[in-house]
Amino acid sequence: MTQKHCILVGAPVDCGKRRQGCLMGPDAYRTAGIAEAITKLGHTVEDLGNLAPKDVTVATPKNPLVHKLAENVGWTHTLMDAAQETAPRGMPIFLGGDHALAAGTVAGMAAHAQKMGRPFFALWLDAHSDIHTPDTTDSGNLHGTPVGYVTGRAGFDAFPPLPAKVETQNICMIGLRSVDEAEHAVLAGGDVELVDMRRIDEEGISTPLKAFLERVAAVDGMLHVSLDVDFLDPSVAPAVGTTVPGGATVREGHLVMEILSDSDLVTSLDLVELNPFLDDRGTTANLMVDLTASLLGRRVFDRPTRDKK
């Protein structure tokens, strides 16, 4: 892997759902040693600290269930700008914060790719597809809508105009195991690459991932990875408010990251949905940092043994 300048962007987004705690995520990653883990691999690190949402005023949403629309829109503005500011200087790593942050990070990175004249791809490592809109969500939680926004679905009038829409055929979702009927209807008629846990059980996790990466490499694409804690099984990553049994194992998680490292295609990364209030002595934060290190070049024999004392 080539040496990278990694830019840590704290995004304490906690408005995409009702269960609080993700605002502590960025500092939990720092406490777990994310900067030190990256520098030990020969990369450089710049930490921008924690950002804040832009102050915006929005109209009352048509769907009365929508939770904290103005704050979500404000974060989208902030993170879209942050992505476009940091991407020319290095590899931004967005420390979440709930998954609503990806509306801004993905949109901003797609805009940067467009400016560079390169195709943009997104790898969604998540139990959920997050392709709802503010109009279709029956929970009102906007952490379930970022893919809907960045792909240009209707219903996001309050959000900033998309500088560059993400093509659905350039999205691969791995780890799916909780997709509701409305989302399933959208996905069934589209061309997002869907890799659910059954397919992983039958084919292994490396086969569909490598096929997707071949597509990215063939056109010199820029690849954004959005890693949700609930991609992993809750038995190994309990610090998330949306636990779904049957997720990826620690071994599968590291395999995905090592394959991504081998490809050297990743240009930006989200770490989302960590809720330290639900963690067990930092287990999940430490695992997410270890996975980030694997993405950036650490190999299985190089992993440290963590002391829990």
The mean pLDDT of the chain is 96
Residue 309 lies in a domain: no
Residue 307 lies in a domain: no
Residue 173, domain extent: 5-302
Q: What is the pLDDT of residue 271?
A: 99
Query: What number is the average pLDDT over the span 166-187?
Result: 96
Cα radius of gyration rounded to whole Å, the chain: 18
Read off the pTM.
0.96
| pLDDT above 60: residue 309 | no
Which domain CATH number covers 70?
A: 3.40.800.10
- Rounded to the nearest 10 degrees, how much is the dihedral formed by the CA atoms of 166, 172, 176, 179? 30
Least confident of 16-25, 142-151, 296-305: 296-305
Residue 155 lies in a domain: yes
Least confident of 44-53, 139-148, 180-189: 180-189
Cα–Cα distance measured from residue 170 to residue 212, given in angstroms and rounded to the nearest whole number: 9
Which is nearest to 14 in space by CA: 285, 283, 277, 286? 277
Residue 308 lies in a domain: no
Residue 243 lies in a domain: yes
Q: Are strands 44-50 and 193-196 parallel, antiparallel or unpaired?
A: unpaired
| pLDDT above 80: residue 301 | no
**In this structure, are residues 98 and 75 in contact, taking their beta carbons and an 8 Å threshold?**
no
Q: How many domains does the chain have?
A: 1
Task: Output the known binding site for Mn(2+).
Answer: 99, 126, 128, 130, 228, 230
Q: What is the pLDDT of residue 1?
A: 82
Is pLDDT larger for residue 119 or for residue 308?
119
| pLDDT above 80: residue 300 | no
| pLDDT above 60: residue 116 | yes
The residue with tokens 């967005």 is 94
Residue 28 lies in a domain: yes
Determine what percent of the chain is predicted with pLDDT higher than 70.
97
**Identity of residue 99:** H
Residues known to be catalytic: 99, 126, 128, 130, 143, 228, 230, 273
Neighbour order of strands in the sheet with 44-50: 44-50, 5-11, 91-96, 266-272, 222-228, 120-125, 171-176, 193-196
Is pLDDT larger for residue 247 or for residue 309?
247
| pLDDT above 90: residue 242 | no
Task: Output the known binding site.
Answer: 99, 126, 128, 130, 228, 230
Dihedrals phi, psi of 161, to nearest 5 degrees: -60, 140
User: Using 50, 70 and 90 to split pLDDT, how confident is the model at 302?
Assistant: low
- Residue 111 has which token pair? 């805009």
Q: What is the pLDDT of residue 189?
A: 82
Residue 271 lies in a domain: yes
Residue 234 lies in a domain: yes
User: Using 50, 70 and 90 to split pLDDT, how confident is the model at 19?
Assistant: very high
Length of the chain: 309
Query: What number is the average pLDDT over the span 159-163?
Result: 97
Helices 69-86, 102-116: axis angle to 10 degrees equals 30
User: Using 50, 70 and 90 to split pLDDT, how confident is the model at 214?
Assistant: very high
DSSP 8-state secondary structure symbol assigned to residue 41? T
Which is nearest to 138 in space by CA: 96, 173, 107, 183? 183
| pLDDT above 90: residue 303 | no
The residues pairing with 226 across neighbouring beta strands, listed in sequence order, are 124, 270
pLDDT digits (tens, 9 = 90+) for 89-113: 999 999 999 999 999 999 999 999 9
Is pLDDT larger for residue 302 or for residue 103?
103
